[in-house]
Amino acid sequence: MRNTERLKLFAKISAVLTGFNVMELWGTSMMETYFYWVNAQTKGAELDSFYAEFEKVFTYNVTDEAIDRAVADSIMPKESFGGLANAIITLWYLGQWTCGEGEKAKTYIPTPEAYQQGLIWLIGQTHPPGAKQPGYGSWATTPDK
Amino acid sequence: MSDKKQYDVVIVGSGIAGAIIAKTLTHAGKSVLILEAGLEQGMDLDPTGAAANYQNYLNTYYTNPIKVPNSPYPNLKVAPSADVIDIKADTPYDTGYLVQKGPVPFASDNFRGPGGTTLHWLGTTLRMLPNDFKMKSKYGVAVDWPFEYETMKRFYEMAEFEIGVSGNVGEQVLPNVDKDFFGSKYVFPMEKIPQSYMDGVIMRNTDNLKVKLNGSEYKIRCTSTPQGRNSDPNIKYKRKGVKWDKREGALKMYNGGERYEYQPVPSVFDPYQGERCEGNASCVPICPVQAKYNALKTIKSAESKNLTIYVQSVVSKVKLDKTKKHITGIEYKRYTRPDKSEYTEHTIEGEIYVLAGSAIENAKMLLASGAANSSDQVGRNLMDHMVMLTWGLTPEKVYPYRGPGSTTNIPTFRDGVFRKDHTAWISPLDNWGWAWPTGAPATTLSDCLAKGQFGKHLRASIHENMTRQFLLHFECEQTPDPNNRVTIDEKYKDILGNYRPVISYNITDYVRKAFEASMTVSKQIFEASGIKDETKYNPTDPDCVEYNGVFYKFNGAGHIVGTHRMGSSPKDSVVDPDMRCWDHKNLFLAGCGNMPTLGTSNPTLTMAALAFKSAEAILKQLES
């Protein structure tokens, strides 16, 4: 599969995993950075089978519910694809990527933008500390107003 | 090699204490040299250079996965900083900059570099309470200060001007304090920083709540917290500066004219940035717009023609004359590469010397020099606030992770007769969720992922949890203990051959009892608001200590205090009430190391006030 097609698939996969739609994810400006980051950080064979499994999920399931069920069954279990799905969610949510395990684990934030575009801050109805500041006194009211 | 140039005063360190003394003296016409251990670019106050350097700090912060207080700043091999990421549960160890002998690891850090630890301070600016100055005579514990609160009052006013405090005087309801504490007409330079939405929700059930402690009943009060970050100027505030009145031999505050309005001090890199807090919610470790005060602002406003700054100059010791009564110079090592053990050695001379390198570094320099220690108190009585954290989930959404770190505090237990039995504490309400105790929201995510959640379900779970995270602090006052100390040892040196601090440290039962007491108060506050307590301490974690069979985890507050204490007698103190060494008339010590006790206020404001006090004494001495 060519990178252009794979990138489209990566966007679709990211949307299912993060709960944000493809347009929202492109809007962070991180899509291509993360696509190439995941390519570079993941073993080729494992990555190929991960994409292949997702293609299957999208081919055989139409509704969101069915896709979610299939993802829960075949993608999310920890033993599947070396925990790649969780790593991609963490990359989108926090801008972080961890290599290795236990005491050898090392966590990276690929770029300053990766941290600033962390989706978790949107979920908490706030902003990443130190960036996208909401202005003087904004903290004194609910973020719903 | 000896530099020929002479200075009236040589100051070691460019943090808030050194900066205030330098500014005050240079405006009084004295020539001042500052020796700063950190990198040259950190001291660049030209707008372009300062902006570039600060952007580097910010990018380092963004890409550092562990966002501890020192995370944006360079940690230099030639002048290392203590760092909380080095803390380990099992002592002794020497794997960080501090050599931790234990039994409990010292839990705080500081930044050795231009502007010092004000780059990452939170910005809380509370005055100490009158009874904090007389713990021995009032409660029979610790020691008294050599003067009372009244002596400090005018210096506190100078410090509040210099830092630029935002706050509401009328809302400061403090225990055992009368209306003269501030004075009836006193206002802060700027209006109070708005209290957070979360504060309002918590205060509904907490302000005026009656709680039981040790068989007595206390009414909890919540008050807005004065802070060193810019808000709207208070039009009633008329003070315009501090100047040396030669005739009276005193520092005086002077007012502007009728139309004068206080101007918030902007960032050092852009006059149109930082004039008001923008809600970055990252005061610790870095305010991106510098609306929060840092000491570079004070250095920038010093009289530049009288100020020389040598950067990348690490002081190793002060030189004594044959009588040991007089300091004759300061020895320092100048480096060009922060990761190499290459340096040139220099000595610099002045009339008067000031060590302002932080409580730990000051003690280290004095011990290395065999100076100022006839009392055997140098390095002893190391203190910090023991921060016990309690956290839970609120029944309604409170939307944390917004605004300055803390905008409201509970001052109720800052003073009272209970201080005979256990320490006092202050309880700031924390606006940043469970970030400190649990590493949330990263751990909020990992907890959900561990349950196999993803997609919309994951979003919803995180939202429900993250918007209800409430955190309360109990910052307990540590009292002086001669065995809590900084020492030096030939075995432990950095790559320039300077000593690394060796720390011995423990927590007395007087403090541990306060953990037990504050936990009973925490439970009552949580219950009144229907907060589901999620507090968990792991006995194998660093700084988890036992009292009455229960383990309590404390954190350091970054309030490093007490290693060269001030007193009224050379027998049991290092400096006199002007912070002049009893042993050496021309050596002054600046910073929190002077404080005989800590009280329950974050110590920066008091340190700044003390810096003005000793600047006045230095000027008197220079002119006598």
The verdict on a CB contact (< 8 Å) between A124 and B458 is no
Q: Residue with structure tokens 């230099």?
A: B76
CATH code for position B436? 3.50.50.60
State how far the Cα of B112 lies from the Cα of B75, in Å rounded to an integer: 8
State how far the Cα of B9 lies from the Cα of B22, in Å rounded to an integer: 8
Q: Is B505 helix (H, G, I), strand (E, B) or coil?
A: strand
Q: Residue with structure tokens 């002893």?
A: B380
Comparing CB atoms, the residue among A93, A108, A135 nearest residue B279 is A135
Q: Residue with structure tokens 């220079």?
A: B622
Using alpha carbons, list the distances in angstroms from residue B341 to A103, B20, B334, B336, B488: 30, 32, 10, 10, 20
Question: Which of A84, A97, A136, A141 is the best mutation test for B, with the most CBs of B within 10 A?
Answer: A136
Min distance B235 CA to chain A CA atoms (Å): 19
The verdict on a CB contact (< 8 Å) between B281 and A111 is no
For A88, the closest chain B residue by CA position comes to B454
Beta-bridge partner residues of B33:
B10, B308
Whether A126 shows a pLDDT value over 70: the answer reads: yes
What pLDDT band is residue A78 in, cutting at 50, 70 and 90?
Answer: confident
pLDDT tens, position by position, B425-443: 999 999 999 999 999 999 9
Min distance B351 CA to chain A CA atoms (Å): 43
State how far the Cα of B133 lies from the Cα of B597, in Å rounded to an integer: 8
* CA-based torsion, B168, B174, B177, B179: positive or negative: positive
For B281, the closest chain A residue by CA position comes to A129
State how far the Cα of A143 lies from the Cα of A112, in Å rounded to an integer: 25
State how far the Cα of B194 lies from the Cα of B270, in Å rounded to an integer: 25
The verdict on a CB contact (< 8 Å) between B403 and A94 is no
The verdict on a CB contact (< 8 Å) between A120 and B401 is no
Average pLDDT (A6-17) is 97
Whether A2 shows a pLDDT value over 90: the answer reads: no
The verdict on a CB contact (< 8 Å) between B281 and A133 is yes
For B196, the closest chain A residue by CA position comes to A140
**What are residue B599's phi and psi, to 5 degrees?**
65, -160
Q: Distance from CA of residue B489 to its chain's centroid?
A: 27
Task: From chain A, pick out residues whose CB is under 8 angstroms from the CB of B289.
Answer: 133
The verdict on a CB contact (< 8 Å) between A130 and B463 is no
Q: What ipTM did this prediction achieve?
A: 0.98
State the residue range of the domain holding B18.
Answer: 2-623
Whether A36 shows a pLDDT value over 90: the answer reads: yes
State how far the Cα of A117 lies from the Cα of A92, in Å rounded to an integer: 8
Q: How many CA atoms lie within 13 A of B463 on its CB side?
A: 12
Contact B3, B20 (CB under 8 A): no
Contact B539, B136 (CB under 8 A): no
Residue ranges of the alpha helices (H) in B247-395? 295-300, 359-369
What pLDDT band is residue A145 in, cutting at 50, 70 and 90?
Answer: confident
The verdict on a CB contact (< 8 Å) between B282 and A141 is no
Per-residue model confidence (pLDDT) at position B1: 44
Peptide bond into B92 cis (omega under 30): yes
Q: Is B188 helix (H, G, I), strand (E, B) or coil?
A: coil
The total number of structural domains in chain B stands at: 1
Question: Which of A139, A144, A145 is the best mutation test for B, with the most CBs of B within 10 A?
Answer: A139
For A86, the closest chain B residue by CA position comes to B449
Per-residue model confidence (pLDDT) at position B5: 53
Q: Angle, nearest 10°, between helix axes A3-18 and B455-466?
A: 50
The verdict on a CB contact (< 8 Å) between B466 and A120 is yes
Give residue B370's identity as a one-letter amino acid code. G
Task: From chain B, pick out residues whose CB is under 8 angstroms from the CB of A109.
Answer: 62-65
Task: From chain B, pick out residues whose CB is under 8 angstroms from the CB of A93.
Answer: 445
Ranges in chain B, pLDDT < 70: 1-5
Tokens of B558: 């970054």
State how far the Cα of B620 lies from the Cα of B208, in Å rounded to an integer: 48
Task: From chain A, pick out residues whose CB is under 8 angstroms from the CB of B279.
Answer: 133-139
Per-residue model confidence (pLDDT) at position B275: 97
Task: From chain A, pick out residues whose CB is under 8 angstroms from the CB of B399.
Answer: 124-126, 142-143
Beta-bridge partner residues of B309:
B34
Peptide bond into A112 cis (omega under 30): no
Min distance B403 CA to chain A CA atoms (Å): 5
Nearest to B105 by CA among B481, B543, B512: B543
Nearest to B34 by CA among B427, B302, B379, B286: B302
State how far the Cα of B425 lies from the Cα of B194, in Å rounded to an integer: 24
